[in-house]
Structure 1
Amino acid sequence: MKKSKNISLGLLSFPSTKTGITPLSNMVEILLAVVGDLHLVSGNESCRKFQDDNRLELYCTHHHSSSFSLKRVWNYFYLQLSMALYVLQLRKVDFWIFFIGGDTLLLPMLMARLTGKRVILLFAGSSIQTLVHRQDKFAGVARRVSHLNCSLSNAMILYFKSLKTEWGLEKYEDKIIIQPRHFIDTKNFKRNPASPREYIGYVGRLSQEKGVMNLVKSIPLMDKKVKFLICGEGPLKKEIKEYLRVNDLKNQVELTGWINHQDLPDYLNRMKLLVVPSYTEGFPNIILEALSCGTPVAATTAGAIGEIIKDHENGFILKNNYPSTISGFLEEFLDYENLDKIRENGYQTVAGFDYNKIKKNWDDLLYRFYEEGL
């Protein structure tokens, strides 16, 4: 019996790109399973995803990105204002969870606190580290806003303990709760023994902080017989295509563009290895999805990856994400003879992220916050 069935919960999340839909969808599924009413405030891809879902109340806004500073500031202010007005409108919710990008949404936070609502900041990743690695001119301002929102929040949820230090959140120790939200649909994400594993793969946003360009620059250092599969969309797509053209790598690399989540198991089963060369992460769901498909993972220790992937046990840890390091590792990996053990340990890792267990933990957590404020 769920304890949180009487809770009316507000979930506020920065308008999603396609890459943000999976973590938001997983979080929504968990919350729908435990609370009585869910009110989602978001926009862009989030609204397209949930517009026909009658299990929740959806409140849509829209965010336009821009390369012009003044227009970018105005767009961000307008987004925050529209979200803050939804928070004002939804006084019937018992409390709020601010999810993706929520630590930088100051106006909605102020509105929630002014109307007497408690707020949980749920960190999907570090907005600040993402901006820093993109060399964004607004990273310093965003850092100050994030710390202000952390101070105003009633509680903060991180997926793993290591993220507290990784993201510089130690001074909020008394507010921090460790609670993963990751779970895997093992009925769909499973190994296909009949699928030929021809590719070294990457799945994710094509952006600076993901380190994907480092992987691309490792390809000329490899034997031309090694094939690569790069899946995703993002601001580096044109640069990647041009690099492949200039270095005559187009026949060695397949760029798939965006992949629908339901098709992802087929692509993971085409990979002999998934590479996650990120500079910064929370904990990417794609790692668990790959392991569930029997696809070994090689990753940096960004975010909480090092808490889950143990080198040469259930995957491989890259010492860094330099192109020479990646290519050197890949040459060794192609001769690796004990992948069956790695795969079996990977399956055991995934088993720890059982949906029913995660659901119960969230039910307990939300009920305690509702009753006691934690």
Structure 2
Amino acid sequence: MAKTAIQKLHDFIYERDHREIMLTGLFLVTALLFFLFALLALWMGHEDVFGLKMGLSGVMLLLFALYRRYGHTTFFALLFLLLVEFESVSAMFGGHFYDFVTVYPFFSVFGFFFFFSLRMALWLTLLHYIFWVGFAMVQYDIDAANPVFHLVPLLNMVSTTLVVVIIGVLYHISTEITYERLEQANRQKAVLIKEIHHRIKNNLNKIASLLGLQMLRLKRGTAESPEEILRRNKLRIETMAMVHEAIYKANDLENIEAESYLKNLVGLIAQSYGRSVPTEVHADVSLPIDKMLKIGMIVNELYTNSLKYAGMKRQETPFVYISLHRYQGRCVLRYSQSGFDPADEAKLKAEKGLGMTLVKLSAEELGGEPDISVQDNTLLLAITFAC
């Protein structure tokens, strides 16, 4: 389906740089103005001016066609401004349209600040000013009676130039600051998206590895039911997903708030098993995504075991306490569970199951080692790592 004129204009505006849009508009509008001036000159009987304006209108359209074909905004912007300067000189030299010529030539100064760097714009403005002052002085010597070159019009030219220069400098500075901030934000977002994709890829590889380990255990035989196997793997995947949800909310890969993440995690596990035990979570640190993933895996395995087995032998309600704090440049993750049978301590330390394997591997990846002990029927596990 052919696009309408409005759709084409919309696509052009949103696909082009702001300088491209401005230069395109200037070419077309100026060509139209020259054409209208040509008609006005013809109506007033100035056939020479009519020919000049029509020629300038044609040149503008030609430059526009070349610009659309070859691009190079800065180069064609310079050609455009030179053509406007030529038209201004011819207007002042010929004495046409006295009511306009003392002001509108100097609006081209703003184009210097729009299309060129600040230093280049200032140099072009200086050359522009020197040229027009010299031109006015020469014209005054030639025709002192010409009102265009008297003191008041010349002061008008100077004041107009100064105002436009001030506006141009302020515009250029504010625009550059804005674009620099936007570019910096875009660079940060690009890095963030790339890093997130990298982490997702790693997580998918980890999930594949977990499933591979689970398949090996199934071949060797396991007491767990298929339903339990699927539930635990589901929780492991959701543990990873929750980290990415935290990133989405915080938009920061390096500072994931640990306490809210761990609270949400234990709530998810309890909901999955349809059972809850009294639990307290205290954490005062924010950690990068890779460390939070490993901590999440550790807590997931430990808390899952607590929900499944805690209090079964001793017939008492267990209590779980999870803390994560920073001390002297290192972080300490502590997990305690009351109602633990001391007879199971040796079994827990020698556990070859997937759960404890994941705890130990995750601790090693953090740069620590799980310290497991039982005191007063309370399981204590601590992992110290750099953070």
TM > 0.5 fold call: no
Q: Larger % of strand: which?
A: 1
Q: TM-score, normalised by structure 1?
A: 0.23
Q: Larger % of helix: which?
A: 2
Q: TM-score, normalised by structure 2?
A: 0.23
